[in-house]
Amino acid sequence: MRFIPAAAFLFAASLATACGGPLEEETPGAEVVDESVASQEQAIDESCVGSDVVLAQPDGAVVTAVFPHCSYADASAASNDGTYDQPSCPHRFVTEVTGLGGAYVQPFVEVIPATSNVTESACKGIAISGAAFGFKSGFWYAMGSVSTTGTWYPASPFWPAHCSLRVNIGTGGSSYSKVRVTGLGAALGVFKGRVRTGVRLGNGPC
């Protein structure tokens, strides 16, 4: 299995003739963690495509895509709690979505709050980060990454004030047989919490 980050793909391709091919893949409850956990390097997420990554609770999951008819649907999994952590993919919950058949998908990461009554200050203090990788022809390709906080929407005539903790990763993509999505949710950047990762499927109304 090999991995090519999107930003490095053209550079790697230019070296293919001289160096013999693309780069090889590197060998692969609430918990108090280091304050920098929500802003870790992209390299951590890139290590999450290795074959030794655990894709079972509490660290990850594997789901098979079920495509909706004339609508949208999520193919995703949620962590049981905030204890997700493993040597090859530290502080990340990883969902691998299979059975994509090259269809367009939009990866996302979503924090699951401990309570539905999230205040504005708490919302803005929730760190959200993640990355997505698509697999085709024996290679992993970076689809994008995100590092942000919850978004607070004030009340309007159309909806009450609320906190949005779901974020798209990149602009989505197609032609992949499977996709891995990593995610981390941390209140105030310190206390890890539950998170959901996956992809949105479907083409909308017919």
- Mean pLDDT for back-to-back runs of 10 residues, the chain (206 residues): 43 31 34 44 75 95 94 96 93 97 97 90 94 95 95 92 95 96 87 95 86
- Tell me the residue type at 17: T
Taking the C-alpha atoms of residue 95 and residue 91, their distance in angstroms, rounded to an integer, is: 13
Residues in contact with 132: Cβ distance below 8 Å, sequence separation at least 6, in sequence order: 107, 142, 143, 144, 145, 169, 170, 179, 180, 181, 182, 199
Per DSSP, the three-state class of 115 is: coil
Q: Please provide residue 186's backbone torsions phi and psi, each rounded to the nearest 5 degrees.
A: -145, 120
**pLDDT tens string 100-125:** 999 999 999 999 998 888 999 999 99
Confidence at residue 206, expressed as pLDDT on a 0 to 100 scale: 81
Whole-model pTM? 0.80
* Spatial CA neighbour of 180 closest among 128, 110, 109, 126: 109
Write down the residue that tokens 């981390």 correspond to.
Answer: 184
**pLDDT tens string 48-72:** 999 999 999 999 999 999 999 889 9
Taking the C-alpha atoms of residue 133 and residue 115, their distance in angstroms, rounded to an integer, is: 31
Taking the C-alpha atoms of residue 45 and residue 37, their distance in angstroms, rounded to an integer, is: 12
